[in-house]
Chain A
Amino acid sequence: MKHSGIVRALATLTTVVVVVAACSSAATTQPASAAPSTAPSSASTAPSSASTAPSSASTAPSSAASAPAKMYTIGYSNGGGVGNGFREEQMCTARAQALVSGQVSQITVTSRNTDAAGQLQDIRDLIAKGVNAIVFNPNDPTALNPALAEAHAAGIVTVAVDSYVTDPNTYNLYNNQVQYAYLGAKWLFQQMGGTGTVYYMRGLAGNSADSDRDKGFKQALAQFPNIKVTPPAGVATGWDPATTTKLINNFIASGQYDSIQGIWTSGMDSMVVSAIQTAGKKQVPLVGADLGAFVTQLLNPTGYPGLKGVAVTNTAGVGGAGVSLALKLLNGQTVQGDPSASQPNTILLTPVAVDNLTAAGKAQLKSWQSVPGLNPTWPLGIQIANWTTYTPDQAIACKGPGQ
């Protein structure tokens, strides 16, 4: 070999590099193994030191920014629905709330379409990064519990948003879906004068939000004994616009539409209104969600004459609210859970129902609509009273601290 001398020199050099690297990593790992054990204690002492001035931090974020309050790092994990407006809005509100809180130095967002094992991995990465709190939209109620227990052991605050987990140390924060269905259904039954038949268009069979909404619908129904429901168990739209359009077209074509007095939808609203309009039928009172297309229809009496409807909020601001909750917990504030929820440590966000019958209602709908630059697939109710402090523009900008 011609270059054996060079090769040998290289070999010696690389061996030295390997040995040095191995030793230094071994050497640095010793203190590192001690670091995680000290980190939780410092993290656990932090809330108590911060809790001496929780009022200043919570009441006025601006004053918290001027006074050098304790800065936290937050991790956010989203395990599905990439490209879905509802999920994107959640992540952007989380970033915006982290920015305006003045208490977050960095928010790290991991988002991909993955299974529960993949989200476990993302959460473990955030634990290894040493964030102070992890806010996440769980892929499953139980599958993430091993990583959540590890987070708790490392002194990290965990908050599940949009859905719940069964981990006892994690706080859950999501929209009250029972109330969501109850508010809309009650409005509808009142509009119908307490009598008549309702076409019941549900969401995705087996989904927990769908089951909760069914409960709320049945609660309202129990108060109006003369209301009949067709079909009694409802039809599943799968929250899919194409399926919904097919269902309502069949319903109209078969003549069943002519014998009903109201429609309850689980958020698949604007396509139902359009189909009725296209078929040249008279609009019956209808319940929908705070989605851009539906609200536009509600505010367009010339395009959709006689349309009476109510938009119930299903806010995607839960991402931002989750960050607020995590900060409250980090600052040592006590948070009161809702006893009606299926899990302890759960905060349910109360939805709001706004119809297009009163001037006040129309003004409210207009105010939702009047946010320039809002993506049409995003729910309009961006903010949540008492939980979020960002402006709609900040949510749309989708920038966290230091970005």
Chain B
Amino acid sequence: MPEPDFDEGAAISATGAGGVGQGAIAPTGTGAAMDLAISEGATLERTPGGPEGTGPAGKPRSLWGDAWRDLRRNPVFIVSGLIILFLVVISLWPSLIASGNPLKCDLSKAQLGSRPGHPFGYDGQGCDVYTRTVYGARTSVTVGVCTTLGVALFGSVLGGLAGFFGGGWDALLSRITDIFFGIPVVLGGLVFLSVVTSTTVWPVIGFMVLLGWPQIARIARGSVITAKQNDYVQAARALGATNSRMLLRHIAPNAVAPVIVVATIALGTYISLEATLSYLGVGLKPPSVSWGIDISAASQYIRNAPHMLLWPAGALAVTVLAFIMLGDAVRDALDPKLR
């Protein structure tokens, strides 16, 4: 057996402070991390004490703390965060930027284009498109966000537990998701929502959560099964970790990425599904104001008056994009390899 050069640790510390900026704990790119991995024991240098404070005196760091630090400097997160913040503010207080009344319409102005004071023009009923787009944000954002939260919560908890414990519960849950996948959304919506008389958004949200959770449950189950086979889960078990510790500390952070991606993409689908249901007359009904209602009403006149469609549809597109960008940024921040 060759005489091993055992003390690579000493070599590491000895080569010392070479290459400041490369050895920082948050390397500028994956290239720096690659270098570290390739040149075992030779070029690993002490981390220069920067503002990150990585030395022994530095604060202990955690995945979520690091993710937050990363997010704050990510332009994608800042832009999408600002858009979402703006949407939340106008959902809560639409009168801040729109002084008119979305339900005050004048048929004589139907389908007219942009006017001073009415930048987006008028819709088929002669209502102000700008005011309606601003007021519609509340319903659309509520439907999108609440449905996504509900679906993600139900789906990932049920799917994750089924994937982790396996066996009979897993088989049962998988068959239940199969059944829900078999229900056609539009037909189910017509049947389910036509018996509901409430005019609020909640029955619509409830229906979409009911049909949406199996999608997330399947993804969560799959990624939990993948994560739980890793040796580090076995290592935690060998240390005596409880099931909840293994799930929360080891499996969840490593299984959450696909769920975030699918949930944020689905958020846009939920907003448009609400529009579809409204179009069929089983979702929200006028006098409710929502982008979905406006889009479906305007779609018949796209050749004569495209502005009626483009403004609410554009608002919907920007909202969906903002949430997808947010999900993307969060997913990347939770992966230390990309840092």
Whether A associates with B in a native complex is no
